[in-house]
Structure 1
Amino acid sequence: MIKSNKNWKIHRPEQQNVDRLMRELKLPSLHAKILASRGFQEPADAQAFLQADASVLHDPFLLHDMDKAVTRIQSAIENDEHIVVYGDYDADGVTSVSVLTTALERIGADVSFTIPNRFEHGYGPNCELFQEIADLGATLIITVDNGVSGIEQTAFAKSIGLDVIITDHHEMGDTLPSADAIIHPRHPEGNYPFGELAGVGVAFKLATALLGEAPLDLLEFAAIGTVADLVPLLDENRYFVKEGIRRLRMSSRPGIQALAKVGGTEQRQFTEETLGFMVGPRLNAPGRLGDADVAVELLKAEDAAVASGITNELDRLNKERQALVNGITEEALQMIEEQYGQNIPYVFVLAKEGWNPGVIGIVASRLTEKFYRPSIVLAIDAAAETAKGSARSIDGFDLYQELVKNKEILPHFGGHAMAAGMTLSLSDVDALRNRLNEQAQQILSDEQLIATVEIDVPLTIDEIEVSVLESLEQLRPFGMAFPKPMYMIEDVTVGSIRKIGSAKNHLKLELEDGGNKLDAISFGDGHLADEMTHGMSLLVTGDLQVNEWNNFKKPQILLQDIRSDERQVFDLRGIRDPLRWIHTVPKDNVLYIAFQQQTKTYFTPILQGTEIVLFEERSRSERIEHIVLLDIPNQEEQLAELLNDYNPGRIYAHFYAPDSRYFEGIPDRQEFGWYFAFLKKRGTFDLSKQAEQLAKHKGWKIDTIYFMSKVFFELGFVKIDNGVAIIEPAAGKRDLAEAPAYQERKRQIEMEERLLYAPYQDLKQWFQKVQQDNAVEEEIVWT
């Protein structure tokens, strides 16, 4: 057996829905299964979703206060007022700034932008920066991707003569800032049809309202921010990303071209994954380590040389960021080991001086991914006696709502269910840790503390073709609320098993289903090769890809998890020296069993440090997952009993048999008859002196003569006195099979035939049958 790393939650789409989508939309079964799994039943709805054209765009004036904002901005332009766009330092923030400043420039505004420094000013509105903006002569601030929590800061801005328009998408509190306008897709007084816009989406809607039409060329920026901020890719967001990526693939913007080059990606092959894993991190990097202004300058650059220089700097900062993240992650893991050992808490709250506040959100994400626990990572400012950091959560633990319960010790915090940021007094860190763990203990069950993989596309290998995988483009983009499919292939067998990579730490399999084959790769799972056997049955889940090598394309699956409910039998029968195979046996939860005392005596000095247990002396209370069978049982029932006691996932079959009888067989009746007539004619026969001579004469082994003599003795045909066989004249007729020695020899040969000399597949099937029989017995008991 191979246990999966996560809970598998398998969703099987209704086949009739799949068939209808295939038939009416002319889709491959793979595409139809994805759509059916995501709730599409009507072909018309699925078709509209796939098209995702500009018709999905809503009237921007449906947003609350949009009319007020546009009126105030137009007034500022008419009166030559200076407008400052006040952004955030992440990818959503810098793309929001780029969208809105570009739109304002197009309608003749006197506009500049300001982005707070994460380390000097923190997140969101800042009174010091607002004062600087006022001192420079600005009269209107428009926030993008922030501001809805800046109650005090907005009041300050108003007190010094600044007007404030807030555009944001983050969680709104019970009290809103006293701004001149607040544009938010979930405004409590609004009725906008789609509430899940990213910050850049809100900025795009304001730009549309100002320009009188949607600035479609700015969807290049909107796509980046929308993907980076992990908002649901539905409704307008889906169109922003789908159309934005189409435009990015042929963009003439120097910044986009430079990002593609430094990322080693062909621009025409941009996908949502390119934005999420290549573009987004580089735009985030400067804001994590210093000033984010340079990211906006890159996106708006008009000169290729300037764009190239900025991109190289962003790439350098991103590598620096990666090194910082790796270092802090190692320190955090060491803290967890020292503080908790194996007793992992419900919630991690880790704090240390010297950690970079700009990257600890990524560290929190890594910890949550590794341990599947909500994680808060805080950077300590000893001088200010504060701790500032980021948090990431898991399903079932609404991070924002749980932090709200602690707002008296959290003077500054914000975020949503799965991520948050905060600043608190250093003296309250322990209290926050204790409180959150108590809250989590009340909310989270043991089941919720195991990561779940949602599988919604069960497939067979014959559905997987290169052309089908390449045509998945029409279903993109994948992301939040329309996630990348998690494929499952069941009832496949292992055709070949290889460890690959310089360290042999990766796994490559060839999966087979009848005459169909599929390559499978699993990174970091090379050790599983020692747990697999040829022909074993597997269920696998992962991501389907097209592998191209030397201009030849073939599909493959990049595995995320593997499961096998089948008991694994490892054939060690042909390896006489146990030192050649013992390293393949796990060290924990393993039982080395011997059925014969002589086997235990033989192996004890060879397998030094390994406990060998006799069958009759085993403990049934132990938890055993792996059993090593050192020799052959006397009876088949012993082996069945052993497997029933422990139900091991793996069996290592060595079956040491120094006195094998299989090839000797049992003398036939003619041989028994000749030997008995020989004894009867002689009356007595000295086995110790004459057996060897008789064996040579007949071409028998000496053991054969002793065996037949023992059978005759047990049947009462002869008596044996000091090695001399003496005929019993009054002995009656009896069947040879009545002799215990005869029965034992026959049983030993049958056991050797079944266990020691059987082909591997026959041996495996025998163990599988025992497992199935046990399962049936258990079912009968429980029902």
Structure 2
Amino acid sequence: MQKNKWILQDIDKEYLHTLQQELNLPEVVLKVLLARGVKSSCEIKDFIFPKKEELFNPYLLGDMYKAVTRIKQAIENKEKILIYADRDVDGITSLAVLYNTIFTLGGDVVWYIPSDEGYGLSCSVLDKYKTENVKLIITVDCGISAVAEIDYANSLGMEVVVTDHHEPPQDGLPKACCVVDPKVVTCNYPFKELAGCGVSFKVSQALMQTYGKYFDKEIAILAVKNERIYLIVLVNDVIVKEKELLNKTDLTKFSKIVTNSKKYVEDTENKDIEIIEIEEDKDIKQVAYDILKRYRNKCFDDDGRMLEFFENNIDLVALGTVADIVPLTNENRILVKSGLSILNDNYSKRLGLGYIFEEYLKNSPVSAKAISWKIAPILNAAGRMGKASVAANLILADDNYNANNFFVELKKLNNDRKELQNENIKQFNALLKQQCDTENDNILVVSAKNLMHGVTGIVASQMVKLYGKPVILFIEDLQKGEATGACRSIDGFDIVGALDKTKDLLIKFGGHNQAAGLTIENSKIDEFRKRIKKIAKDYISTEMVAKKINVDCELKITEVNKRTYNDLTLLEPFGASNSVPIFMLRNVGFEEISVIGQTQEHLKLKVCKDGMSIPAVFWGAAKYIDDFGYKQKYDILFNMDFNRDAVQLIIMDVKIV
């Protein structure tokens, strides 16, 4: 067995008791949150009970105003608009949100998802849509690295609005009409980890707001207390001015308003003035911000048009956000929790998704786990097999006949994907043993010839889990003389930053710090392998490769029960940066150990202590069966699961006591 490092956080028991008294939340939930750095009562309440009213203003994203006014101009002038999307679930949901919004507003809009062209914009596709008189291109979940392609679009007289969430190139942004990406260095958006569909949702939301009655109008928030007045001025809900006013002479009208006894005051110029009583002991600036918060909540609750937009799109945002494995914290947690609620209320409103949920979930709840394990792989199968348009058409389908046809085609593509995945795993594993030194190489680079594309990223992810090192897999096309690669990394090693140091060898690349794609000439792969291995040797330490497991808290065996399992649902949805809690049990025994699974790779057993026994599974651990003795004692790490009306442990790691 591997010797992994277990990291168990110390928890202040006195502070834990104080929080329990104040918040009346289960102890195990508070322990997990404290271990993960969510410590103040305010942070805990926001985490457990996220509110859609707390979503950030889309106009805080850089270039947002410029982007939506350009899109609105195209809609009103009946210019032909092309939405150009990535081919994974994030890209497809990004496309669906923006397409439906523009179409609803009367825009002349079409969409395209690449198949054989690879990731991102393609000049040949731009040529095609130039002949179809497209004036404006909007990228979703791609475009930030398409410097040359956007230069080419500009030369054709086409304007490009980039909406993306990937890391921008280090040597400058593409010369697009505007770039909406929270990861752009100059963007001051409060949350950097939106998925592509989250950015698309924000663009769509801001576009809808351009048709509202307060668009581009100044809104004044005033707090008046004794001789002090604090002023906040908003335009499109963005603060453009704030200061304390010490002289009332210029505010006679407002002085009369705040002394009026009526809650709402008639005014000839503005009927939307509300008086709010304030707490005497609060600072005047804080009072102004409290009023601002109430104003924003009221706007959200009172605007039926925007509420309808939210409810019509947030389910797709939840789907794409979970599928793209971005952190399910902060704003993403609000988006996903809201979207899952709507999906569970009525997922059949999406006719195509309804077929998938009925077939693969069989009336069980739509959870983040269900999306990650069952729904996303099926939708991604279309893109992996070069037919992402099937999944997009399935989501966009507005009649049962088409929805069913696309679903049938998608199921076949998913079966083809499984066969391709098994073949590629076999081929890449054999080549890895020939091309890599798994003991001494800090990064594993493997190149195969003429395999089918589509599942390289999945295979790379599996290899990262097996070897604990970054992996880059290439498939060489001998006719084109080019290879397409998929990269997956480990915590602490920025794979996009590493690729940037070899960009003179690459045709193109892009992605996140943990997952990226690239294209290279076949003849340059050996030089690339040599240089990327040197970079990895310089930047990846022994500690980074050694597996560390963060333990949320220790439990007694009496605490492993249905009540604790149900308490943990308060922490859902689980996903990246909010993983399923890992617990520790000390000094337990194992009984009834048996090998299970079609490939006989897994163990089924019972964990026993103090006269209690709990069923458990230990995935991939059959090779360790001879290490487990019935009289031996162990410390274990585990997730808690529920199977057939009983708690079951999913063992993560074991240490002999």
Cα displacement (A) at 1:243: 0.9
- Do 2:329 and 2:578's aligned partners in 1 also have CA atoms closer than 8 Å? yes
Q: Alignment partner for residue 357 of structure 2, among 247, 251, 260?
A: 260
Aligned residue in 1 for 2:38: 40
1:248 is matched by which residue type in structure 2? L
1: CA distance, partners of 2:491 / 2:392 = 34
Cα displacement (A) at 1:395: 2.1
Aligned residue in 1 for 2:406: 310
1:170 is matched by which residue type in structure 2? H
Aligned residue in 1 for 2:446: 350
| Change in CA separation of 1:262 and 1:179 when aligned onto 2, cut-off 3 Å | same
Deviations 1:434-465 (CA, angstroms, capped at 9, x unpaired): 11222222222334323222222221112122
Alignment of 1:453 onto 2:549: yes
1: CA distance, partners of 2:607 / 2:391 = 46
3-state SS in 2 of match to 1:453: strand
- Do 1:82 and 1:137's aligned partners in 2 also have CA atoms closer than 8 Å? yes
Q: TM-score, normalising length from structure 1?
A: 0.68
- Structure 1 residue runs without a partner (length 5+): 566-783
3-state SS in 2 of match to 1:195: coil
Alignment of 1:29 onto 2:124: no
Q: Alignment partner for residue 17 of structure 2, among 13, 16, 19?
A: 19
- Do 2:167 and 2:184's aligned partners in 1 also have CA atoms closer than 8 Å? no
Aligned residue in 1 for 2:337: 242
2: CA distance, partners of 1:17 / 1:462 = 24
2: CA distance, partners of 1:169 / 1:445 = 29
2: CA distance, partners of 1:339 / 1:180 = 44
1: CA distance, partners of 2:10 / 2:353 = 40
Cα displacement (A) at 1:528: 4.1
Which stretch of structure 1 is more off in the superposition, 531-540 or 228-237?
Answer: 531-540
Deviations 1:185-234 (CA, angstroms, capped at 9, x unpaired): 13333321111111100100011112223522211110111111111112
2:322 is matched by which residue type in structure 1? V
- Do 1:518 and 1:556's aligned partners in 2 also have CA atoms closer than 8 Å? yes
- Structure 2 residue runs without a partner (length 5+): 210-305
Q: Alignment partner for residue 97 of structure 1, among 70, 95, 98?
A: 95
Taking the TM superposition and a 5 Å limit, the aligned residue runs for 1:202-601 are 202-212=199-209, 213=306, 214-249=309-344, 250-251=346-347, 252-263=349-360, 265-340=361-436, 343=439, 345-494=441-590, 496-499=592-595, 506-526=602-622, 528-548=624-644, 553-565=645-657
- Do 2:473 and 2:486's aligned partners in 1 also have CA atoms closer than 8 Å? yes
Identity, % of aligned pairs?
34
1: CA distance, partners of 2:528 / 2:597 = 44
Cα displacement (A) at 1:375: 0.9
Q: Alignment partner for residue 153 of structure 2, among 151, 157, 169?
A: 157
1: CA distance, partners of 2:364 / 2:401 = 21
Aligned residue in 1 for 2:143: 147
Aligned residue in 2 for 1:658: none
- Number of positions where the alignment pairs a residue of Structure 1 with one of Structure 2: 556
3-state SS in 2 of match to 1:338: helix
2: CA distance, partners of 1:149 / 1:274 = 32
Alignment of 1:184 onto 2:279: no
Alignment of 1:175 onto 2:172: yes
Cα displacement (A) at 1:114: 1.1
3-state SS in 2 of match to 1:411: strand
Aligned residue in 2 for 1:667: none
* Structure having greater relative contact order (Cα 8 Å, sep ≥ 6): 2
2: CA distance, partners of 1:295 / 1:23 = 49
3-state SS in 1 of match to 2:337: helix
Mark the structure with the bigger radius of gyration.
Answer: 1
| Change in CA separation of 1:434 and 1:504 when aligned onto 2, cut-off 3 Å | closer
3-state SS in 2 of match to 1:139: strand
Cα displacement (A) at 1:420: 1.2
Aligned residue in 1 for 2:60: 62
**Alignment RMSD (CA, Å):** 2.0
2: CA distance, partners of 1:521 / 1:389 = 35
Cα displacement (A) at 1:26: 2.3
- Do 1:353 and 1:379's aligned partners in 2 also have CA atoms closer than 8 Å? yes
3-state SS in 1 of match to 2:318: helix
3-state SS in 1 of match to 2:490: coil
3-state SS in 1 of match to 2:574: coil
- Do 1:4 and 1:562's aligned partners in 2 also have CA atoms closer than 8 Å? no
2:177 is matched by which residue type in structure 1? D
2: CA distance, partners of 1:503 / 1:421 = 32
2:179 is matched by which residue type in structure 1? I
- Do 2:438 and 2:467's aligned partners in 1 also have CA atoms closer than 8 Å? no
3-state SS in 1 of match to 2:94: helix
Deviations 1:726-772 (CA, angstroms, capped at 9, x unpaired): xxxxxxxxxxxxxxxxxxxxxxxxxxxxxxxxxxxxxxxxxxxxxxx
- Do 1:262 and 1:312's aligned partners in 2 also have CA atoms closer than 8 Å? no
Aligned residue in 1 for 2:198: 201
1:439 is matched by which residue type in structure 2? I
Cα displacement (A) at 1:364: 1.1
3-state SS in 1 of match to 2:629: coil
- Do 1:466 and 1:554's aligned partners in 2 also have CA atoms closer than 8 Å? yes
Aligned residue in 1 for 2:125: 129
Deviations 1:668-690 (CA, angstroms, capped at 9, x unpaired): xxxxxxxxxxxxxxxxxxxxxxx
- Do 1:87 and 1:113's aligned partners in 2 also have CA atoms closer than 8 Å? yes
2: CA distance, partners of 1:146 / 1:48 = 31
2: CA distance, partners of 1:319 / 1:14 = 51
- Do 1:13 and 1:456's aligned partners in 2 also have CA atoms closer than 8 Å? no
Cα displacement (A) at 1:159: 1.9
1: CA distance, partners of 2:328 / 2:436 = 39
2: CA distance, partners of 1:262 / 1:127 = 39
Cα displacement (A) at 1:514: 2.3
1: CA distance, partners of 2:510 / 2:599 = 44
Aligned residue in 2 for 1:657: none
Which stretch of structure 1 is more off in the superposition, 504-513 or 182-191?
Answer: 504-513
| Change in CA separation of 1:417 and 1:516 when aligned onto 2, cut-off 3 Å | same
- Do 2:165 and 2:196's aligned partners in 1 also have CA atoms closer than 8 Å? yes
Cα displacement (A) at 1:424: 1.0
1:259 is matched by which residue type in structure 2? I
Taking the TM superposition and a 5 Å limit, the aligned residue runs for 1:668-747 are none
- Do 1:388 and 1:422's aligned partners in 2 also have CA atoms closer than 8 Å? yes
- Do 2:90 and 2:196's aligned partners in 1 also have CA atoms closer than 8 Å? yes
Cα displacement (A) at 1:269: 0.8
Deviations 1:670-729 (CA, angstroms, capped at 9, x unpaired): xxxxxxxxxxxxxxxxxxxxxxxxxxxxxxxxxxxxxxxxxxxxxxxxxxxxxxxxxxxx
Cα displacement (A) at 1:74: 1.5
3-state SS in 2 of match to 1:395: coil
Q: TM-score, normalising length from structure 2?
A: 0.81
Alignment of 1:71 onto 2:166: no
| Change in CA separation of 1:82 and 1:514 when aligned onto 2, cut-off 3 Å | same
